[in-house]
A and B are shown apart, each in its own frame.
Chain A
Amino acid sequence: MSADVILAIVIATALAFDFTNGFHDTANVVATSISTRAMPPRLAVGFAAILNFVGAFISLEVAATVAKDVVESGAITTTVVFAGLIGAIAWNLATWWFGLPSSSSHALIGGVVGATIAAAGTSAVLGEGLLGKVMIPAVIAPMLAFVVGVVGINLAYGIAGRERPGTVSRGFRMGQVVSGGLLALAHGTNDAQKTMGVITLALIANGTLSESAGVPFWVVASAATAIALGTYMGGWRIIRTMGTRIIKMDSAQGFSAQGAGAAVILTSTHFGFPLSTTQVISGGVMGSGAGKRLSVVRWGVAGNIVVAWLLTLPAAAGGGAAVFGLTELLGGGAAAVVIVAALSAFGSVLLFLRRNRSSLLAAPAPQEATA
């Protein structure tokens, strides 16, 4: 009974994490299509939500990596998975609060690794899998997307750049319906699978699944639904603020950036590499920008990505280990997990309220804004 309560909390927390992932990443997935006017905002967000849902069903390689190649699934408990999730959420909230760059995917893996080390020692961490399947692909993928973006946009300008601007622009906008769709599909498949992997890991740790078992269909369907709902809900927030946040780019650059991001994420997913989709999409956008003119690229974003690479994994691991320690300190059973989950939920709500309050106080009054 106690184990089932912990498992239920872990599943609910993992799905909430998945929802926030979709909510947060909507901007990255649809921004390019909206900024080039390839699609109206409402259609772009709805389209992205549907394709995120579909994408979650097309592969299970990343889920298998998270469930079996990062930590020794037989050596950990559901409390460890719970602590890892809370550690990741805590890091994401802290970076959101201080405006630091972060990767939800790296935070999730870092949190689970940290909690595993605290619970079962470093021997329970599969170093080969962590380095070969997570850390090295995490470094290579955004750079690869950048290179594909640079080469792609130069080819696009070289081949079609001398034609009438209106025709070229219309053509690439039409192409963006497909490239934007592929990007949403890629995002859904890579990001939703991390949640599937974590839930599967918890089911194995609980003894509900054997170590050799695959990902159950209900796990795939619930993760797909959570990320799609998050994408759809996050989209409305983006529609309201998109005027100030989206980078200016032409439709050829949009097509090239989306193509680069989708190609890198889909290929990596095929080989089971859990990536930071945000970093890959940023790499593609910067590449297609740099291909036109180096000065249009916000190189600060590249610096932020490097900071995120260096900080996220160890910091989330520290968070995961600390949460595991706290849970153990409170007795380690279902009651301890419930208390930590309640404290985390309370803390998150408090942070959101304080942040919103300070944003409202900092915002100029309507008459000041128009003056």
Chain B
Amino acid sequence: MIATVVDTKELWETVVAAFVAGVGVTASFSFVILGAARFAGLRRADRPLAAGAFGALAVVALIVALAAITLGMIAMLSK
């Protein structure tokens, strides 16, 4: 009965979008911190290759997090 009154599609989209956005941004930013921390440690240990890989992870994760936030804002502004 409730399904006939409530727009379950909208509600479901809200749940999925909020979950993906909230968890996704937190996970991406955690990778930024992991990458940055390991980059600093490995650089001090004079392991440039591994440090570079973790540095790249930090940069990519930061781009993913910022892109997710930007896309979310664009979606809100465009409706």
Which positions in A face B, CB cutoff 8 Å?
58-59, 61, 127-128, 131-132, 136-137, 140, 144-145, 147-149, 151-153, 155-156, 158-160, 163-164, 167-168, 171-172, 175, 178-179, 182, 189, 252, 255-256, 259-260, 262-264, 266-271, 273
Contacts and interface: CB of A to CB of B under 8 A. Distances in A.
Contacts of A168: 33, 37
Interface string B25-42: 111011111101110110
Nearest to B66: A178
A contacts with B: majority SS: helix
Chain B binding surface SS class: helix
B75 A270 contact: yes
Pairs of residues from A and B, 3 with the lowest C-beta to C-beta distance, nearest first: A263-B22, A171-B33, A152-B26
A61 B36 CA distance: 39
B38 A159 contact: no
A136 B2 contact: yes
Contacts of B22: 145, 148-149, 152, 259-260, 262-264
B26 A256 contact: yes
A271 B14 contact: yes
A152 B20 CA distance: 10
B14 A267 contact: yes
Contacts of A151: 19, 23
Given A132-B7, A255-B29, A267-B18, A164 B37 contact: yes
B46 interface: no
Contact of A167 (B15, B31, B40): B40
Contacts of B14: 137, 144, 267-268, 270-271, 273
B6 A132 contact: yes
B19 A259 contact: no
